[in-house]
Homo-oligomer: A and B are copies of this chain.
Amino acid sequence: MDVTHVSETEPLGRLRKAGLRPTRQRLALARMLFSQGDRHVTAEQLRDEVAAEGARVSMATIYNTLHHFTRAGLLRHVVVDAGRTYFDTNTGHHHHFYVESEHRLIDIDGDTVRLASVPDAPPGRAIDSIDVIVRLKPDIRA
């Protein structure tokens, strides 16, 4: 395979740049994750998608890979639901709607939520990140 010229947004280039060995499994997962716009996925979803494509990737590898990608800054962890971990391919500044009834996440552009004031971190601690989660329910006024 000719790999002399690889875009940084292609799966291979992305992995290279992140210092991750491009294995068959990682390439498959990177393709699923990064070639269809911003996504919010769970490990289980990914497993099913990958399986549907005919690729064989174990659950352990899916978890390992998601964590590797997250550490490398390719993904971001989203905590909105106990007992379900979402990974977000949008690592930029933004927040989330969470449709509880459908277990579905929707991005909110970072600038749409402006914090007029942010509390100081307690002594000895620093702010790592600020998550804003807007929980949605069905609108009753049907």
Contact = CB atoms under 8 A, between A and B. Distances in A.
B121 A113 contact: no
B121 A112 contact: no
| Chain copies in the assembled complex | 2
Nearest to A120: B112
A82 B78 CA distance: 9
Contact of A84 (B82, B112, B130, B134): B82
Contact of A126 (B80, B81, B137): B137
A141 B133 CA distance: 30
Interface of A: 79-85, 97, 99-100, 106, 108, 112-119, 121-122, 124-140
19 contacts: A79-B82, A82-B82, A82-B85, A83-B85, A113-B119, A114-B115, A115-B132, A116-B116, A122-B136, A124-B138, A125-B136, A125-B138, A126-B138, A126-B139, A127-B134, A127-B135, A128-B137, A130-B132, A130-B135
